[in-house]
Amino acid sequence: MTLPMAAMDSLAIEEPNEAVENYLVISAHDYRSPRKAGIHFVTDELKKRGPTRFFSVRYSNLSKYTEDPRLSLDAKANKITHHEGVECYLWKTLIHPVNTRRAWLRAPEALVYSWYARGENNTFQKWVREASVILLESGISPIFFDAIKKLNPKAKIVYRVSDTLEAINAGHFVTRTFDRVAPQIDTIVLISKHLADSVPSDHNLAYCPQGIDPALMNEGDPSPYNGGKHAVSVGSMLFDPNFFVIASRLFPDVHFHIIGSGHGRHPNYGDNVSVYGEMPFALTLRYIKHADFGIAPYYSNALPVYLRETSLKLIQYDFFRVPAVCPEFIAADYAGRFGYTIGDEKSIERAITLALTTPRTTGSLPHLNWNEVVDRMLAPQKYSDTEVTA
């Protein structure tokens, strides 16, 4: 039987549908938390592409002693809930493994890690079996590699490195496991090329920087400020309260806004310092967009070089062309950043003065959107800019 030409044309343009992937994210963050990290935005993009689940780990009765930001979700622990199109589960156990930092406790510490790594949770095991792509966030998640392979050997495993295991004080068991399994992971995503030396593998590396949604430029209005000069700090990583003790005294005409630092109000803060708790991401944008300058008040002098490129707050300041005040090592030669020596009053005064008086310039960081970032994470071989050179 010969088909009419029109029918043949219609058959020619019909293409088979691509299989829909089922995504599983395993992280010590929780998708429902108001504080946003890069993994939240990656998950936002994954859910557009297929069914997405978020399994949150390293949470237990011990967490209440560590000011874990997921404590507000405790009532939802060990329950499957739906949040903004994503199935979420916070796995709460009696205890969870921790790095005791004591060599003489390494053996019992390893026993706890070994028990936890088996992933003996019905939801974990079901979700692993049903996933086609499993995204592991840097931290404790590599210890689940063996369990994942046993439950679902066909799943594609992507490990996203946002910090070195050393920088986040990962336990010896985690480091040793990662050293063993890293070459077997399908793709190891680096959000900075400076992270390459921390990975004991090279054939499966892909560079995919932090992303940002360009639509944010149209958000963050109106300004939350009522006249005057305003500076903002967001996040809790390596937070240095002493910076604000010094800065609030040196600049009484600047109002300093501290959001989600994980610290209460310091007794030596000036009256020109406002301290806020955790705040939804959309609300923090207003404080960033309309600030005269942003602050990344890290307290440590032993900061990793990759933080220059991976700090989400610095990326957001850069995106909105808000000058940033941060330690000299992080400021480096990046446009729009003004560095100071930690604890040094004169250098802090100089950095803030420059931030207030230097004309705003275009930032010096790449700004891929999250769609472009996730494209590269899932298929790095298609993009030349994902290559990691030695």
Q: Encoding tokens for residue 270? A: 């000036």
- Segment 375-379 mean pLDDT: 97
Q: What percent of the chain has pLDDT over 70?
A: 94
Task: Measure CA 227 to chain center.
Answer: 33
**pLDDT for res 209:** 92
pLDDT tens sequence across 322-373? 999 999 999 999 999 999 999 999 999 999 999 999 988 766 676 899 999 9
Nearest to 52 by CA among 26, 72, 28, 76: 26
**pLDDT for res 337:** 95
Domain boundaries, the chain: 23-207, 214-357
**pLDDT for res 362:** 67
Q: Is the pLDDT of residue 16 over 70?
A: no
CATH of domain 23-207: 3.40.50.11010
pLDDT tens sequence across 34-92? 878 899 999 999 999 999 999 999 999 999 998 788 999 999 999 999 999 999 999 99
Q: Is the pLDDT of residue 14 over 80?
A: no
Q: Is the pLDDT of residue 195 over 60?
A: yes
The C-alpha atoms of residue 348 and residue 23 are separated, in whole angstroms, by: 45
Q: Encoding tokens for residue 155? A: 């799943």
The C-alpha atoms of residue 89 and residue 121 are separated, in whole angstroms, by: 11
**pLDDT for res 26:** 98
pLDDT tens sequence across 107-143? 999 999 999 999 999 999 999 999 999 999 999 999 9
Q: What percent of the chain has pLDDT over 90?
A: 78
pLDDT tens sequence across 227-256? 999 999 999 888 999 999 999 999 999 999
Q: Is the pLDDT of residue 12 over 70?
A: no
**pLDDT for res 359:** 86
Mean pLDDT of all residues in the chain? 92
The C-alpha atoms of residue 77 and residue 14 are separated, in whole angstroms, by: 46
Q: Which residues are catalytic?
A: 163
- Segment 298-310 mean pLDDT: 90
**pLDDT for res 364:** 67
Residues 6 or more apart whose CB falls under 8 angstroms from that of 342 comprise 240, 243, 298, 299, 300, 301, 327
Q: Which top CATH class is 214-357?
A: alpha beta
Q: Is the pLDDT of residue 173 over 60?
A: yes
**pLDDT for res 69:** 86
- Common-topology check for domains 23-207 and 214-357: yes
Residues 6 or more apart whose CB falls under 8 angstroms from that of 281 comprise 34, 35, 36, 40
**pLDDT for res 379:** 97
